[in-house]
Amino acid sequence: MEHKNIVTKIEVYSYNELTEEDKKVVDAAKKATTTSYTPYSHFNVGAAVLLDNGEIVAGSNQENAAFPSGTCAERTTVFYAHARYPEAKMLTLAIAAYADGHFQAKPISPCGACRQAILEYENLAKQPIRIILYGEDEIYVCPDGISSLLPFCFTEF
């Protein structure tokens, strides 16, 4: 038997170290937390994606009394982005969370279902979507896309 390790490449930044473009995407994700509908969890998640046409599309989590009917911020965002701009490729996706009066100190990462949804749009565009996971203390950037968060994923490119 042989052991193999999976290496996930993540870059760690402070907000001031981000490029101006990345700051815009992060700021849009943070702003989107104000549009969350979270009467049950009170955990507001915002996401924003920069498209190759220059547009930034943002979305937030939307809860429902029938829990499976709700949607995470990440899926709200990528579904809306593709519905609105079906020809555009997604370049960078940022995620932020706000609860108890402040943004989360540590980076927040997407759930498994959202990782799979993000992968779908990477496959469609045949290129990775950079992922920025925002935290007040530190920010994680996945330059290689969702494969850093979804190892051994089925991918066509």
Torsion angle defined by CA atoms of residues 14, 17, 23 and 27, in that order, rounded to the nearest 10 degrees? 20
- Which of the residues 2, 11, 17, 74 is marked catalytic? 74
| Tokens representing residue 139 in the block | 């920010």
CB of 60 to Zn ion, least distance (A): 12
Q: Is 136 part of the annotated catalytic residue set?
A: no
- Interaction residues for Zn ion, span 36-75 (CB under 5 A): 72
Q: Does 29 bind Zn ion (CB under 5 A)?
A: no
Tell which one of 8, 14, 111, 126 touches Zn ion (CB under 5 A).
Answer: 111
Q: In this complex, which beta carbon is closest to Zn ion, that of residue 60 or of residue 147?
A: 60
145: left (phi over 0), alpha (psi -120 to 50) or beta: left
CB of 52 to Zn ion, least distance (A): 24
CB 7, CB 152: distance < 8 Å:
no
Q: In this complex, which beta carbon is closest to Zn ion, that of residue 26 or of residue 72?
A: 72
| Tokens representing residue 84 in the block | 């609105």
Number of residues in contact with Zn ion, rule: CB under 5 A? 3
CB of 86 to Zn ion, least distance (A): 22
Mention every residue, 6+ apart, whose C-beta is less than 8 A from residue 131.
Answer: 92, 93, 94, 95, 110, 118, 141, 142, 145, 146, 148, 149
By CB under 5 A, name the binding residues for Zn ion. Answer: 72, 111, 114
Supply the residues annotated as catalytic: 74
